[in-house]
Amino acid sequence: MTRRRLPIGMQTFREIREENCYYVDKTAFIGRLLDEGKHYFLSRPRRFGKSLFLDTCKELFEGSRPLFEGLAIADSWDWSVRHPVLRLSFGSGNFREADHLPATVMAQLDAVERETGVVSGYASASNRFAHMLEALHRQAGRPVAVLVDEYDKPILDALGAPEVARANRDFLRGLYATIKDCDAHVRFTFLAGVSKFSKVSLFSGLNNLKDITLDPRYSTICGYTDGDLDTVFAPELPGLDRDEIREWYNGYSWRGEEKVYNPFDILLLFDTREFDAYWFETGTPSFLIETLVERGVSALDLDGMVGSAGLLSTFDVDAIAPEALLFQTGYLTVTATESRGGRTRYRLGYPNREVFQSLNESLLAHLARDPHRERNGDRLYDLLAAGDVAALGDLFHAFFAGIPYEWYTNNDIARFEGYYASVFYAYFASVLGTGITVEDSVSRGRADMTVRFGGRVYLFEFKVVEQAGPGAALAQLKTKAYADKYRALGEPIHLIGVEFSSASRNVVAFDHESA
């Protein structure tokens, strides 16, 4: 196969097709959507291909037949029929500024009027939007396709200013309600964004939207599958380890049989030929990290969270569940589906190495405030590689010595064990990126953390000495025989009991022995 141009940063279907770029065909999904309904909503993390999908819909409804040659929908679409398209996008703008959102909507409606010749004298955005839908339908003789990209960004951007966020939410609620009121003039609606706001808060006026976020039939509507990499991108694979690509970037799941890759990561990998946290580094999860710390969510708790469909699909300015925030923003994904009491629960976990390693690095930066974090991380790696367990105790004592005094004055002893364990875990996760198991189940209980690295097994137990007493951590590892699970590997096994003190604010015991 001949190599093509990589569509890095391209969100325009026409440019990708006319410039002979790689393109993963998603048009069959559009056909299915039109066959099965009319008004749709999709939540996917940032840089996952939502804008490109909407632009593909736009070109299809406008009848741009040459762009679709060879694609799945080409032979089944009636190219003699064209529909007007009204597209709104909130991808840019300072939505933290009061009244910026209404001005943005009015400017976009101005542009539509100039392009179509439709003129409205209404002063409110909702009335003007409604008039435009009716006028475009009348002008073209066909109902309108309404496409809204990044529908939630005006709210998300303003979460740090709750009053502005609420005002933006209320404005959008009125605007989106117009779509239902004008249903007779609408052929198709597709709203896409990162978060799913509750119907009560944002979609009360548009309650006929069909949410396909967790619908297995649409699990691969955005993103690349393994099959896509092996076929569409086959010319780019030579020289890259296929298993390493999976470990780094595959793993996103919305209940479908196939997991998907973030397109942004894959395109940058093929361009640079180097593995890196490309997607993670394009966004600063400061709000996410602050929310997790404020709610007392331990780093050890993230891999294995459980939530209902309602919880994972609900987000609002005044009620942000950590599970929903992590899932909707792409830092956790669905790893299993369980039935509990007749209701479906979704187990969440890290999608891949990129997110696991990078998110824990960000958490560590917030928790420890260690100015020598990178140097200490390198030291941790070297000590684990050498199997120097004794030196690990000194290293971790240095980690905790730099914790700000304010942390202790703002938290009670009940949170100490979780906090210290979080710092430990985040250090290992950010440095190693793999081989770490939390709450490792064995026949007689659970080890707090297991690390497999460099041909060795490290079993950790964490205790606050004022609560458990001296020596309790190592004693638990021994009496419950946690090491038995790993003896068949034939690898050296190290039992490490770590004890913290709320009084001295540091590690007071780092007991270890070989099992």
More confident residue, 64 or 310: 64
Residue 309 binned pLDDT confidence (cut-offs 50, 70, 90): confident
pLDDT at 334 over 60: yes
Provide the β-strand partners of residue 458.
451, 494
Q: Given the structure tokens 């419950």, which residue do they identify? A: 480
Q: For residue 246, how many C-alpha atoms fall within 13 Å in the half-sphere facing its CB?
A: 10
Question: What CATH number is given for 25-218 in this structure?
Answer: 3.40.50
The pLDDT value given to residue 450: 92
The pLDDT value given to residue 399: 76
The pLDDT value given to residue 38: 95
Cα–Cα separations (whole angstroms), residue 437 to 189, 352, 453: 43, 14, 12
The pLDDT value given to residue 200: 58
More confident residue, 409 or 402: 402
Mean of the per-residue pLDDT values for the chain?
Answer: 90
Q: What is the mean pLDDT of residues 449-456?
A: 92
Let me know: does 255 contact 312? Beta carbons within 8 Å.
no
Distance CA 482, CA 500 (A): 21
pLDDT at 459 over 90: yes
Q: What is the mean pLDDT of residues 437-450?
A: 78
All residues at 6 or more sequence positions from 301 whose CB lies less than 8 Å from its CB, including other chains: none
Provide the β-strand partners of residue 307.
346
The pLDDT value given to residue 408: 47
The pLDDT value given to residue 406: 52
Provide the β-strand partners of residue 86.
146
Q: Per residue in 80-137, pLDDT tens? A: 999 999 999 999 999 999 999 999 999 999 999 999 999 888 889 999 999 999 999 9
Q: What is the mean pLDDT of residues 366-371?
A: 75
pLDDT at 409 over 90: no
More confident residue, 185 or 479: 185
Let me know: does 458 contact 396? Beta carbons within 8 Å.
no
The pLDDT value given to residue 466: 86
The pLDDT value given to residue 198: 67
Least confident of 259-263, 266-270, 308-312, 353-357: 308-312
CB atoms within 10 A of CB 10: 18
Q: Per residue in 246-303, pLDDT tens? A: 999 999 999 878 899 999 999 999 999 999 999 999 886 788 888 888 887 888 888 8
pLDDT at 407 over 60: no
Report which DSSP code applies to 189. E
Domain coordinates in residue numbering, the chain: 25-218, 284-349, 369-514
More confident residue, 132 or 309: 132
Q: Per residue in 203-258, pLDDT tens? A: 776 778 899 999 999 999 999 999 999 999 999 999 999 999 999 999 999 987 88
All residues at 6 or more sequence positions from 334 whose CB lies less than 8 Å from its CB, including other chains: 214, 253, 254, 255, 327, 346, 347, 348
Distance CA 190, CA 55 (A): 11
pLDDT at 413 over 50: no
Q: What is the percent of the chain where pLDDT is above 70?
A: 95
CB atoms within 10 A of CB 137: 19
The pLDDT value given to residue 261: 98
Over 293-362, what HEC string results?
Answer: HHCCCCHHHCCCCEEEHHHHCCCECCECCHHHHHHHCCCCEEEEEEEECCEEEEEEECCCHHHHHHHHHH
The pairing of strands 85-89 and 39-43 is unpaired
Overall pTM surpassing 0.75 (yes/no): yes
Q: Per residue in 127-181, pLDDT tens? A: 999 999 999 999 999 999 999 999 999 999 998 899 999 999 999 999 999 999 9
pLDDT at 314 over 90: no
